[in-house]
Amino acid sequence: MIDINGTLLAQIFNFLILVAILAKFAYKPLMKGLADRQTQIISNIETAEREKAEAAALKREYQQQLMAARTEAQAIVEKARKLAEESKEEILAEARTEHARLLKAAQAEIARERDLAVAELKGEVVTLSLAAATKIIGRNLDASANSKLVNEFIEKLDEKKIGGLPC
């Protein structure tokens, strides 16, 4: 069994003094360090949660801004497309107007040239007709009679449109 002697009592006494010294100098600072560590960990967790919430809010804000930017970009593209379509229509209308103007000018030029050609042709026909008539008749009528004869001949030609050509 256990012998209670002076050595055991000294060991118990030394153990109690050691526990008291450790409680005073080591246990309290150790517990204070653990409490400080626990407080710091709780603070870090709260900070992390707060920063996580802020990051989530920033993410939502950035997503909203991105959606707004996409919507705005789509509106700009649609506006540019509409403007391009209007410009295209305007350019086509100007081209059609210019085409009509050029066509009208060309038709007027053709009519002018035709009238000039008809006038020249009439002059040549008069000269040739007079020459032919002079040779055929063998005598030269006076100038007014020649002119009257030729003009009547040309008028008859104009009415019949010989050769299918308009004069």
Over residues 14-58, the pLDDT tens digits come to 999 999 998 888 888 888 899 999 999 999 999 999 999 999 999
Asked if 126 and 134 touch (Cβ cutoff 8 Å), the reply is no
Distance, in Å, from the CA atom of 30 to the CA atom of 27, rounded to the nearest integer, reads: 5
Asked if 167 and 161 touch (Cβ cutoff 8 Å), the reply is yes
Asked if 153 and 129 touch (Cβ cutoff 8 Å), the reply is yes
The model's pLDDT over 78-130, given as tens digits with 9 standing for 90+, comes to: 999 999 999 999 999 999 999 999 999 999 999 999 988 888 888 887 777 77
Q: How far is CA 149 from the centre of its chain?
A: 74
Q: What angle do CA 67, 70, 76 make, to 5 degrees?
A: 145
**Other residues' Cβ atoms within 10 Å of the Cβ of residue 48:** 10
Query: What residue ranges do the domains of the chain occupy?
Result: 29-160
pTM beyond cutoff 0.85: no
